[in-house]
Each structure stands twice: as C-alpha cells, then as structure tokens.
Structure 1
Amino acid sequence: MISEEVLEHFGAIKIHLKKDDLIFTEGARADFFYQVLNGEVKMFNRTEQGKEFTQGIFKKGKSFGEPPLFGDFPYPAGAKANKPSTLLRLSKNQLFQLLQTKPQIHLKLTQILCSRLNYKAMRLKEVSVFSTENRIMNLLCHLKKEAGISGKYEVKLTRLEISELTGLRVETVIRTIKKLENDKKLSIINRKVIV
C-alpha cells in the first residue's frame, strides 16, 4: 500500500519474524504502524477455551492494526507471524507526519479502512443471521473478489483457517464444504476448494 521507500524515508525499520512470533497482544497500547514486506500476519482473538478466532490475514503490501492508532485505544486483537515474515514498523507520530504531508496516501488508507469496516459489518451480520453455508460462501467469495479473479479461484486457506475466519468448528466447515460441493456451489479438486 505505502511504498517501502516512503515508509523508510519517514523512519520505518524492518522487523524480521519467525513463525508464531507475536507482534502485539490484545489490550496492548498501539504505538506503531505495521506493513507486511513478505510473509503473512494473522490478527486474532482467543476464546476462554483457547480457540483462536481470526480477525484477518495480511500478506505482502498490506498494513494492519491501524484503528487503535487513530482512535487512541488498545489493540482489540493480537497479531502474530503466520510464517517467517518481514515487516516495516513506523511509529505513530511518524505515521501522522507522513499522512499530513502525503494526502493521497491518507486518502488511500482511509479507503482501505472503510473497506475493512464494511467487511467487519458483513461478518457480524453473517454470524448473527446467516446459515453456515452462507457464512462460508460469503467468505470464499470475498477472498475471490479481493484477489481480483473473475474465473475459477483456488482458495488458499486450510479448513482450519476457514474455521478461524468464520467462527465455526473445523468439523462444521468440513461437513459444510462437502455439502456445498454436492449442491454444486463449489468444487473440490485434489483437496483444494475451487470457487
């Protein structure tokens, strides 16, 4: 989203993470802007039983954890590296300086945050109103749209990751995906889900 050169010009540093390294925890103070250079980051909450509920997965070029920077509240979720990753980290004050001097970047970031708010509202509606089939199909269609693919799309998530993103049990996801295949709403080829 924001070029590496611009972020480094404003003082961003590179952080190298191993798989499962924590970036921040739920409830921690938000002091930094993060953007993924390579690898993958997962934002999540844990239930009382220790099950993770995934709030979002962020890959190369994506930033995460911005709302607490602007709202001055603690992180509502934790974040960790899903695989070995390199991030750019910029302090909150430096981010605000960047946004004040680069209004086109500020506008783009605002558009991204609005898109995420829309996605969160859609997910909240699904959890409270829709069937498991609709919840899974809406997630898969969102991923396809986000990838910019109009034809067949191979879902890159495991059944566990789909479970964590929808708040469903893994067994429910497996059973529902099989039902969706039987209903011809998706295909399974070599254990891969195709939408």
Structure 2
Amino acid sequence: MIPAEILEQFGASQKVLKKGEILFQETEEARFYYQIITGEVKMLNWNSEGKEFIQGIFTDGQSFGEPALFGRFPYPASVIASRQTLLYKLSFDQLMELLKYNFEIHLSFTEILSRRLQYKAMIMKEISNHDAEHQITTLMKYLKRQAAVKGPFEVKLTRQNIADMTGLRVETVIRTIKAMVQQHKLIMKDRKVYLP
C-alpha cells in the first residue's frame, strides 16, 4: 500500500509477531497504522461461546485497522498473527503527516476503505438472507474479483477460515464444498479448492 521508503522516511518501525501472537485486542485504543511486509494476520471477534468470526485476513503488502485509526474509536475486533509476520508500525501523528504530503496515498486509502465497506455489507446480506452454498460462492467470487484472476482461482482459505468468515459451522462448509465439487461448481485438485 504505502511504499516502504516513504514509511521509513516518516519514522515507521518494524515489528515481528510470532504465530498466534495478538497485536491488539477489541476495544483497545487505535494509535498506530500497520502494514504487513511478510506474513499474515486475521482480524476477528469471539462470541460468548468462544467461536471466532473472521472480519478479514490480511497478508503481504496489506494494511489493516485504519477505520478505527481514522475514526478515532476503539478497535472493533482483535488482530492475531496466523503465521510469523513482519510489519511496519507508524503512529497516528506520523501517518497524518505522511498523508499531508502524499495525496495519492490518501486517495488510495479512500478506495480501500470503500471496498472494505462493500465487503462488510455483502457479508451481512449473505449471512442473513442466503443458504450455505450461496454464502460460500459469494465469498469465493469476491476473493477472486479482489485477486483479479481470470481463470480458475485457488481458494487459499481453510474450511475453518470460510466458516469463520461466513458464520457457518465448519461441518456445513465441508459438506457444502463436497457437494459443490460433485456438482462441478468447484474444482478439487491435490486437496486444494478452485473456483472456475
């Protein structure tokens, strides 16, 4: 998102997260901009029974947590490293200074935040109105569009990730994907799932 040299010019530091390490928790004050160099984090909430609901998965080059930072409200979800992750960390004041001198980056944020709002609206509609197959298909098609892939798209989410992102039970996801493969709506190759 923001080029490394610009982040460093404005004082960004690097931080390493071990797999399973929590970067910040839901309700914590948003004070920093984070951008992944390498690795992966998931933004999630836990319900009262301890079930995860994944708000998003972020990987190399992506940033996360900006709505709370720009809106000056507490984080609405927690962030945990899915694997070892190296990221940039920049304070809110430094980020504002950076954006003041880099209008094109400011515009990019507007576009990214708009896409995230679109995703949230889509997921809310799917969870409340449609069956499991439709929810899973919509999520996969969204990811394929985001990746700008023309041919078959490898869905790099685990069945548990899909369950956590749609609010479905993992058993339902497994059963639905199996049925979709049998109906040739999905392709299974070497235990990997592809959306044609």
The two structures have a TM-score, normalised by structure 2, of 0.97
Q: Is 2:127 the partner of 1:143?
A: no
Per the TM alignment, residue 182 of structure 1 is displaced from its structure 2 partner at its CA by 2.2
Q: Is 2:12 the partner of 1:12?
A: yes
Q: Is 2:106 the partner of 1:106?
A: yes
Match of 2:190 in 1: 190
| In 1: Cα distance, 2:73 partner to 2:124 partner | 21
Q: What is the number of equivalent residue pairs in this alignment?
A: 195
Q: Which ranges of 4 or more aligned residues in structure 1 deviate by more than 3 Å?
A: none
- Report the secondary structure of 1:154's partner residue: strand
The one-letter amino acid paired with 2:77 is: A
| In 1: Cα distance, 2:73 partner to 2:129 partner | 29
Match of 1:28 in 2: 28
Match of 1:166 in 2: 166
The C-alpha deviation readout for 1:70-100, integer Å capped at 9, x for no partner, is 1111000000111001010000111111111
- Report the secondary structure of 2:177's partner residue: helix
| In 2: Cα distance, 1:192 partner to 1:9 partner | 41
- Report the secondary structure of 2:155's partner residue: coil
- Report the secondary structure of 2:168's partner residue: coil
Match of 1:45 in 2: 45
Match of 2:92 in 1: 92
Per the TM alignment, residue 183 of structure 1 is displaced from its structure 2 partner at its CA by 2.2
Per the TM alignment, residue 190 of structure 1 is displaced from its structure 2 partner at its CA by 2.2
- Report the secondary structure of 2:153's partner residue: coil
Q: Is 2:63 the partner of 1:77?
A: no
Per the TM alignment, residue 31 of structure 1 is displaced from its structure 2 partner at its CA by 0.2
| In 1: Cα distance, 2:142 partner to 2:77 partner | 21
Match of 1:132 in 2: 132
Per the TM alignment, residue 135 of structure 1 is displaced from its structure 2 partner at its CA by 0.5
- Report the secondary structure of 2:171's partner residue: helix
Q: Where does structure 1 lack aligned partners over 5 or more consecutive residues? A: none
| In 2: Cα distance, 1:149 partner to 1:111 partner | 20
The two structures have a TM-score, normalised by structure 1, of 0.98
| In 2: Cα distance, 1:125 partner to 1:183 partner | 25
| In 2: Cα distance, 1:97 partner to 1:173 partner | 45
The one-letter amino acid paired with 1:135 is: Q
| In 1: Cα distance, 2:68 partner to 2:156 partner | 29
The one-letter amino acid paired with 1:31 is: R
